[in-house]
Amino acid sequence: MTATDRSLELINAAAQAAADKLAHDIIAYDVSDVLSITDAFLLASAPNDRQVKSIVDEIEERLNKDLDAKPVRREGDREARWVLLDYVDIVVHVQHSEERVFYALERLWKDCPQLELPADAEATRGKAQEYAQAQGPDGGAGGELS
């Protein structure tokens, strides 16, 4: 079994919405062969809670407006460290970068096929690492003040 056309349409729209809000490391997996509850997972991350919330809001708005899709469940809003949007056909995970590293969902789903995403979403790969390096080891601006 593979992800349905509807699932792919939702994944691509969600990935583009996340990319438009500057999400990092957007990736999607076809989990239809290993899970019976959904076809695909979309993972995205952001360096702060406010951006996580912004990405989630944009995904919800875009999928509702363009594809008439609303999540049946939304979890993790309060702290905005890991928000899950369940659309039945797909599940979207938007995580704070620290949670993304800690939970390493990619490791769990690495045996599942990756789904092709819009170019803007593909271009986000490695952005979390670039951002962390630019912040420097102390989380600041990456250098001493002169």
Domains of the chain: total: 1
pLDDT of 99 above 80: yes
Phi and psi based region of residue 30 (left: phi greater than 0; alpha: psi -120 to 50; beta: remaining): beta
pLDDT value for 44? 97
Domain membership of residue 146 (yes or no) is: no
Domain membership of residue 143 (yes or no) is: no
pLDDT value for 125? 87
Give residue 64's domain range.
Answer: 5-130
pLDDT value for 144? 39
Helix residue spans in 21-144 (DSSP H): 49-67, 97-103, 105-109, 119-122, 127-135
Residue partners of 62: CB distance under 8 A and separation at least 6 = 13, 14, 16, 17
